[in-house]
Amino acid sequence: MPLLKLWNSIRGRSTKTQSIDQGPAAEPRTTTKTKKSNRGSGLGIFGGGPHAGLCKRVKSVDASSVLEISVEDGSRALAVLETIEKTNKNVRYLAIDQFEMAGGPVSLKQFHQTLRSRGFRPQLFPETIQRGLIRVAHTVGAVDLVLIAALPETWQTPQVLPLLSRVTHQSSLVLYRDEEETWKTYPNPAAPQRRAA
């Protein structure tokens, strides 16, 4: 059944009509011909918006590739990409999420369309975290920034943590959201471990 849902979402037959930007009853955003005019989401990312804390943390990060695990409503992806884009115009964005197949608030198609309408070209992996990390490791390799908004029990496991080390390099930054909705740094699994003397 999940494959049927994926196929229907790709063909535009999803039953959900929620837009990432505008709430549950809104129509999807239309694209315009100029990329620049679509930017500037009005999310207030530095003025107290819902993702201001995270954007402040990634503002000074030199990242040309971002992997987000669990995109939720998609507004975080736009806020982070628009923040990073101020210092790096060629940001590669990847996301691992099961979208509507796991009851997510936004469909794969809606998420893809919204990011494309803002000029971003997302590479999406609509799978479980474990399978998604395997595919990212095989197709992309290591990324500069990893954002994890999934529950700890879904990724802090003996099966997933070794895969996380395969998609990071020594200078990658891994951030995760804790129970208090605060973004914290997770020890980089690819960084060399110090040995005790």
pLDDT tens digits, 100-149 = 988 889 999 999 999 999 999 999 999 999 999 999 999 999 999 999 99
pLDDT tens digits, 163-174 = 999 999 999 999
DSSP, collapsed to helix, strand or coil, labels residue 127 as: coil
> What's the CATH number where 72 sits?
3.40.50.150
Closest to 171 in 3D by CA, of 143, 135, 193: 143
The whole domain housing 152 covers 57-192
Q: Give the span between the Cα atoms of 187 and 19, in whole angstroms.
A: 35
| Tally of domains in the chain | 1
In a domain, 16, yes or no: no
Other residues' Cβ atoms within 10 Å of the Cβ of residue 119: 16
Angle 108-117/75-84 helices, nearest 10 degrees?
30
Q: Are the C-beta atoms of 176 and 138 separated by less than 8 Å? A: no
Q: Give the span between the Cα atoms of 189 and 171, in whole angstroms.
A: 10
In a domain, 104, yes or no: yes
Q: Are the C-beta atoms of 107 and 9 separated by less than 8 Å? A: yes
DSSP, collapsed to helix, strand or coil, labels residue 30 as: coil
In a domain, 93, yes or no: yes
Q: What percent of the chain has pLDDT over 90?
A: 60
Whether residue 39 is predicted with pLDDT greater than 80 in this model: the reply is: no
